Structure 1
Amino acid sequence: MAATVNSAFEEFNKNVVNLDPDRTSKAISSRDWLWGQLNKLDSKENLNFPFKYEDKHIKFGSFARKTKIRELDDIDLMFCLTANGATYTLYSSTYYINTPNAGSRLKNLSDNDILNSRKVVNKLKSALAEVEHYKSAELHSRGEAATLNLLTYEWVYDIVPCFYTDTELYLIPDGNGNWKATDPRIDQNLVTETNQNYAGRLLQLIRILKFWNRHNSSFTLSSYLFEQIVINFTKSKTALSEWIDINIKDFFSYLSTYIYYAVNDPKGIQGDLNCLTYEQRKSISEKAKWAHDKAVEAIDAEIKEKDQEKAINKWREIFGNKYPKYE
């Protein structure tokens, strides 16, 4: 229940959109504990697990970037392995890791001296049974990660094995047995720097708009694509308003047009992230136009008509029944 639009947004963000601070603290602690468990795998003689490259492990994904919304369901980690004498070649955007001169731990996961990423992910999956409080592990649906479920937490860990290259890129499984390049540090730096350049207002804007995308849009965009669209919108402006409702209104106008445009991968690796069909783009554009018009009505009700109840009800039309009611 809220008496003003401002208090309604504060309550909505705190109780519905943002991760619970206590669970976030627990998740950070458990993630740090898990790093310690993973770093022990290569020392267990019965596993013959590839040697780690501890300095190059990465925390990535929306939880690391602080753009995750409730409920906390997964945490992403990139677990880096040492090449141990292996080299790589690139052919037609696919990376191959060559192991004729590598140690036996990588040779054992190779086919004809080519490291098989499926075997590496499977090796990680089976090794996770050695982790304390283990409940289960399975392969991620895209074959790029092993998903670890622990007894004591409601979230799972998606753990991606990777290698660090001399070009400062990471190689991760491509789902087809070979490898592809990525560098999530670029995504992290982009979010952090943009948030700093826009008075710390980006992160909350991303989170509340992700809620709309997940629950009330006509077609749910992938989290990563949607996040990049919000960043592009923000960078198209000189500044973000101190009032989040103004920024939300302006974003809906931006989305209605720019959903038809390319959304380039900031890492320069994947090219255009926007692989939606024309019909999907049209559906999103129409819903964004509808949401923009409702936002205009809400802001007019608040500012011109001085009617907080009407304004709050308009925002409830946009965000749904979890948005606070007028008290």
Structure 2
Amino acid sequence: MLNPVVHAFDQLFVQHINYSDDDSAAVQKHVDSFIHELHGLSYSEENLPWLNRDRHLIVSSFGRGTHINPLKHVHLLICLNGESSKVTARGKGSSYIIRINEGAERFGDMINEQRELNSSAISNNFRREFELFPDAKNVSLSAEGGATYRRKGSLWVFNVIPSFFINQPKTEKSFYLVPNQHGNWQPIYPHQETAAVQAINHQHNGFMYDLIHIMKYWNREHDIPKIPSPLLEALVVNYCEAKPEKLTEFADLDISGLLRSIREHIQKPVMDPIGQRGDLNSLAEESRQAIMDQAFKDQLKADSARQFELNRDYKRSIEKWSEVVGYEFRKLARVK
């Protein structure tokens, strides 16, 4: 007899959590078309810089493959052509100034008297252009310093983040500069971050992504504050790195332990384990408390569900799991 708990988890991933290959291909086609439109804009509009076609990059959850269904955001680093402009680091390298060369075009209203490029001005210019699109929805400035745009009929929102690709041959380091919301620029390391996540996932036979997906689904199904993706992914990565045994295809075996880890760490600073973003935990105190309380309750329920399953009391196990991961789970189980 097929274990109905295993069957229900398999179907939960297939029907409600995982994003299908066909859907991913459709999004990629949409992304390619949108980037083509942006290049058309950069040729026709004087208030937008030239673009660097070879360095655009999809980042965040969709770029790393850690998104769940339905997809809500696609974060795009749209790489600008700085025309050999000078980049200067301020302080300890957390803030950068980009000074545009005298002969460079297309930066007229985005630079000051010292020819320093204002990142907020570029994002505003993208926003103004998006508002003119005939099918534009949800156009605004984003918290990440870019401009958002949703095409009518699409479920997801593009977050267009203007950026510059920086390559340092002497140090063999490369990174992107993106708006820091104060007019200057800050470095991010998306290639290194993705490689680090993939390496840890590989150490666990490719099953860490399942844990990330199920915990994003758990967060969505409960009436608690949303845990930002970078923070939630960091919590899962830390749990997996501390786990002596490798993960298996049965994600439910680790749900209780992961909820315990979230409960223990959500009140504390959570330093970025895969990049250089510092403390990722920007949640307010009341949000941290609400998440901690839910994680504690669901950890106990997950323990009970596992025990019922071991005792082959599948009906009670499924009842408990449905309280943890949502009531769709109960519909997917084949048990009387």
TM value normalised by structure 2: 0.87
Report % sequence identity. 28
For the residues of structure 2 that align with 1:24 and 1:166, how far apart are their CA atoms?
A: 30
1:79 is matched with 78
Match of 1:191 among 197, 208, 214: 197
Structure 2 residue aligned with 1:240? 247
| From 159, 184, 200, the counterpart of 1:178 | 184
* Partners of 2:197 and 2:274 within 8 A in 1: no
Using the TM superposition, name which of 76-85 and 263-272 deviates more.
Answer: 263-272
Pair 1:37 & 2:37 matched: yes
Q: Report the number of matched residues.
A: 323
Unaligned 5+ runs, structure 1: none
The residue type equivalent to 2:250 in the other structure is W
Q: 1:258 aligns with which of 258, 261, 265?
A: 265
Decide whether the 8 Å contact of 1:241 with 1:247 is kept in 2: no
- Aligned in 2, Cα 1:266/1:192: closer, same or farther, shift over 3 Å? same
1:126 partner amino acid = R
Q: Which residue of 2 aligns with 1:271?
A: 278
Q: CA deviation at 1:267?
A: 5.5
Match of 2:128 among 109, 126, 129: 126
SS of residue paired to 2:149: strand
Once the two structures are TM-superposed, the CA of residue 144 in structure 1 deviates from its matched residue by 1.1
Separation of aligned partners in 2, 1:136 and 1:111: 31
> Does structure 2 conserve the Cα–Cα contact (< 8 Å) formed by 1:182 and 1:267?
no
* Matches for 1:204-219 after TM superposition, within 5 Å: 204-216=210-222, 218-219=224-225
> Would the aligned equivalents of 1:219 and 1:280 in 2 still touch at CA under 8 Å?
yes
Counterparts of 1:137 and 1:240 in 2: how far apart (Å)?
Answer: 40
Give the C-alpha shift of residue 270 in structure 1.
2.7
The answer to whether 1:106 aligns with 2:107 is yes
Gapped runs of 5+ residues in structure 2? 169-173
CA positional deviation for 1:318: 0.8
The change in CA–CA distance for 1:100 and 1:242 in structure 2 (over 3 A counts) is closer
CA contact (8 A) 2:58 2:75 kept: yes
Q: Deviations over 1:75-123 (max 9, x none)?
A: 1110101111321222233222112535131243212211111211122
Change (3 A) 1:4 1:203: same
Partner of 2:298: 291
2:61 equivalent to 1:55: no
> 1:11: Cα distance to partner?
1.3
Summarize the Cα distance change of 1:159–1:279 in structure 2 as closer, same or farther, 3 Å threshold.
closer
Letter in 2 for 1:76: H
Q: Which amino acid aligns with 2:99?
A: N
- Number of the residue aligned with 1:165: 166
Contact 2:302 2:321 survives alignment (8 Å): yes
- Higher mean C-alpha deviation, range 32-41 or range 260-269: 260-269
- The residue number in structure 1 matching 2:312 is 306
Q: Secondary structure at the match of 2:330?
A: coil
Partner of 2:156: 155
Does the CA-based 8 Å contact 2:8-2:330 persist in structure 1?
Answer: yes
Is the contact between residue 75 and residue 158 of structure 1 (CA under 8 Å) also seen in structure 2? yes
Q: Could you tell me how far 1:240 is from its partner in structure 2?
A: 0.9
How far apart in 2 are the matches of 1:73 and 1:220? Answer: 14
Preserved CA contact (<8 Å) 1:100 1:107 = no
Deviation readout 1:239-262 (Å, 9 max, x if unpaired):
113321111122112222232443
The answer as to whether partners of 2:76 and 2:158 remain within 8 angstroms in 1 is yes
Query: What is the CA–CA distance in structure 1 between the aligned matches of 2:103 and 2:217, rounded to whole Å?
Result: 47
CA contact (8 A) 2:263 2:295 kept: yes
Determine if contact 2:87/2:96 at 8 Å carries over to the other structure.
yes
Please, what is the CA RMSD of the aligned residues?
Answer: 2.4
Conserved? CA contact 2:204–2:248, under 8 Å: no
